[in-house]
């Protein structure tokens, strides 16, 4: 009832599709043809030469209209997946919920989808209304209705250089408004991941979210829990690697979507040192992305969850566990808790463990320990993590300077550094005890992360 009242106030109507799109020519839309991929042109032309309709669609058109070279090019056509596959030497049909075709040109992958129909009444759904499978094909205007946002529901024909706009996407791009197509509640129920996409696009593009699009999100946020964890992880990864990671996380909190994804984010960001650490980590990641440098997912998650690990590490030690075993127990607890929500891949989890496990070793600057640490496969990631901790004020900045000099120094310089620092910190050992209090230690929890190199 509340959602219906909100829709009435905001004037939201169910979209049935506009069969007559706004058609814009080159002078009206201003797309630079040089920004198009040659392979995207090749795919559309091949389909058109075979008698089918074919357009560049979705985010690629949005980026072209914004004057940005798209990273990926998706193609929409009225050819079925089987018909599309026959036209290309390296083409593969994938997908269960909706079949699509991957067309390969060397390492370049283009995704080709058949126009989707609007009939969802008979599509298999879960008990919450999420569509499980939908291979209903349709007409182009029906396909436009099925797309999520107005700015992603435009079609560009490279042959005629025209843009077809079915839902006012051009106007919304110019106003910098993110608006969902149709009734928001219905669209979020069909696919709850759309709520995460709202956040990502708004933060990445610097757009405002339409009131009607934003209104039901906080109430419907729990539906994210019904989505397969692998899909949630994939969307979270896109969000964190959008180049606007911090803005995305702030938007997640604003919309009430972080609960269950990073449930302790609110707690962490209320702690000054933790807030500074995460801010620095995400700002560093965003900078690397803008500079075209590689970014490791593991480093991102290691940074986000590090202070959860610290909290659990302290709790395990207070319960009587030795420092190093306590750190491993903390990492196990945090990774286990987050894996259920985000389906963290084993490789990412392994990288996170390495980064965390190296941190106490950086404080042991005597004997052969520093040399062995230099040879660690994840040394660079652990070292970068250490510098973030120093910059955030979590540990003495002198430790970071020492390791910077040691890593860059020659043999004599390294020996001099070791001689000048005969006993530097390190993980403190607890005195021997009659028994370990495992039951008390089991009440602690921890978190996970990864590397930036």
Let me know if 148 is a catalytic residue.
yes
With b for 16 or more beta-carbon neighbours within 10 A and e for fewer, the 85-94 pattern comes to bebbeebeee
62/176 Cα distance (integer angstroms): 12
Q: Spot the catalytic one: 134, 143, 148, 384.
A: 148
* Both tokens assigned to 245: 């990671």
Q: Are strands 100-105 and 54-57 parallel, antiparallel or unpaired?
A: unpaired
**Beta carbons within 10 angstroms of residue 317's beta carbon:** 21
Q: How far is CA 257 from CA 60, 186, 227, 249, in A?
A: 26, 18, 13, 9
Residue entry with tokens 């980026």 = 63
By C-alpha distance, which of 263, 268, 16, 24 is closest to 144?
16
Q: How far is CA 422 from CA 289, 363, 366, 415, 426, in A?
A: 40, 12, 6, 11, 12
Let me know if 74 is a catalytic residue.
yes
Q: Are strands 154-157 and 100-105 parallel, antiparallel or unpaired?
A: unpaired
Residues belonging to the active site: 72, 74, 148
């Amino acid at each position: 009832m509340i959602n219906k009242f909100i829709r009435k106030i905001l004037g939201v109507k169910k979209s049935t599709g506009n069969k007559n799109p706004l058609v814009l020519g080159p002078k009206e839309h201003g797309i630079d043809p040089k920004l198009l991929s040659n392979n995207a042109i090749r795919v559309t032309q091949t389909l058109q030469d075979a008698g089918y309709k074919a357009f560049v669609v979705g985010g690629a058109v949005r980026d072209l209209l914004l004057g940005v070279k798209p990273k990926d090019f998706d193609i929409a056509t009225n050819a079925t997946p089987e018909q599309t596959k026959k036209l290309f030497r390296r083409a593969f049909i994938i997908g269960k919920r909706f079949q699509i075709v991957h067309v390969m040109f060397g390492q370049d992958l283009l995704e080709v989808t058949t126009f989707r129909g609007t009939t969802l009444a008979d599509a298999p759904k879960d008990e919450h209304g999420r569509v499980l499978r939908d291979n209903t094909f349709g007409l182009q205007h029906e396909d436009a209705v099925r797309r999520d946002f107005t700015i992603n529901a435009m079609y560009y024909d490279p042959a005629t250089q025209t843009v077809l706009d079915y839902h006012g996407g051009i106007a919304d791009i110019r106003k910098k408004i993110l608006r969902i197509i149709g009734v928001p509640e219905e669209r979020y129920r069909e696919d709850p991941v759309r709520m995460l996409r709202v956040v990502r696009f708004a933060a990445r593009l610097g757009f405002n979210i339409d009131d009607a699009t934003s209104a039901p999100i906080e109430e419907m946020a729990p539906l994210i829990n019904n989505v397969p964890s692998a899909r949630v992880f994939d969307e979270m990864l896109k969000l964190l690697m959008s180049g606007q990671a911090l803005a995305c996380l702030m938007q997640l909190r604003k919309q009430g979507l972080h609960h269950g994804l990073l449930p302790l984010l609110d707690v962490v960001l209320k702690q000054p040192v933790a807030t500074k650490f995460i801010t620095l980590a995400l700002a560093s990641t965003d900078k690397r992305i803008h500079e075209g440098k590689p970014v490791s997912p593991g480093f991102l998650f290691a940074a986000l969850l590090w202070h959860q690990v610290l909290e659990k590490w302290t709790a395990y030690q207070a319960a009587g566990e030795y420092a190093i075993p306590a750190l491993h127990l903390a990492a196990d607890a945090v990774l286990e808790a987050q894996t259920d929500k985000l389906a963290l891949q084993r490789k990412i989890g392994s990288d996170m463990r390495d980064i965390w496990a190296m941190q106490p070793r950086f404080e042991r600057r005597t004997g052969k320990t520093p040399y062995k640490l230099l040879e660690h496969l994840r040394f660079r990631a652990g070292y970068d993590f250490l510098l973030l901790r120093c910059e955030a004020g979590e540990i003495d900045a002198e430790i970071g300077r020492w390791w910077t000099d040691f890593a860059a120094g020659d043999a004599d310089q390294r020996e001099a550094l070791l001689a000048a620092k005969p006993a530097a910190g390190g993980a403190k050992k607890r005195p021997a005890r009659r028994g370990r209090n495992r039951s008390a230690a089991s009440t602690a929890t921890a978190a996970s992360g990864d590397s930036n190199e």
